[in-house]
Structure 1
């Protein structure tokens, strides 16, 4: 953007007024900014870890959202919002004079005069982002969140049914195990009974064999040829 002649005069005036006051603090401001940036980054990481812990988010969980793409899309909506236009004009003006006015505070003051607005108007324009975010949050809740919660509810119902089936199978398994134990006891009892029956039968057979062998011997002994000889 070409700097209008009238704005060039404003820029020159702002530079002259501010250069003496801003120069001594430049090095300190830069150092403070670096320290603040490092602290902010560390604090942001800590905040993310705290949020994950509070929401019960599992490590490695996938949200199904392309965060960078979502941020870019919503940011575009914010900047395309007509209510944001005053700040957009101010930002474009500030950018156009960046080379001529490297000091940011001086540049902001020059741009403010250049677009002929005031601080309240700029703040109102920037704060219009809240309306866009509120609308997007409603859309997110009604579409993505509602669908995901419905899927989760369906999965919970499926989980409940499976737990019930597992419980029923566990009860059936317990019953079958009890039946198996009873059958095993019957097998052991009958096996032992059969073994005892075999022993008893053999005992009876032996006794009767001995009994009738004794009779045979008596008959042969008393009545046989040797007895008459």
Structure 2
């Protein structure tokens, strides 16, 4: 596999206690990680081939689905939602789903999730940001960021006992303190967007998109076609 090829990816910003003491769930990547070592990040990762075949109990709003499909392959939209839920499960052990049984045998990456008695659900997800990793990095992703209220977590939001070892120091960080952590630049940009949306009940009018390709870098807004800067 070409490790410099751009891979589609999904990231989830879980927001807790948004009206009282807003906090986001983050963990630290390992010192030997090829991509963003030692950085505190939201749970997320690349879309796997099986993700497109996974049933969803609920999907995102039509507005979000439309913006996910803009400047992208529309067939990718379901896989992005399920990949986001799978990555939260793998990296934190938390369940974003609805109680239901699977009608077909789940792929290997989904066996443990299915064993909890849940089907993945993107209920309450809001598409809030998209960014392509600039050229020259050891890994490149076309990452979509989803905001989700922690109230949609099934079970104890502080129980990380089923998490993999990919992220350490998993914790709910107050928004007012998060910038004191070791963050990637793009995460700081996304957090600024989240702070503005934290108390909004409606979908954002447009979604920021940092489009970095080999020819140019553009700051676009999905839902508004023209570039803001170059």
Tell me the TM-score normalized by structure 1: 0.17
Higher relative CO (Cα under 8 Å, sequence separation at least 6) belongs to 2
Tell me the TM-score normalized by structure 2: 0.17
When you count helix as a share of all residues, which structure comes out higher? 1
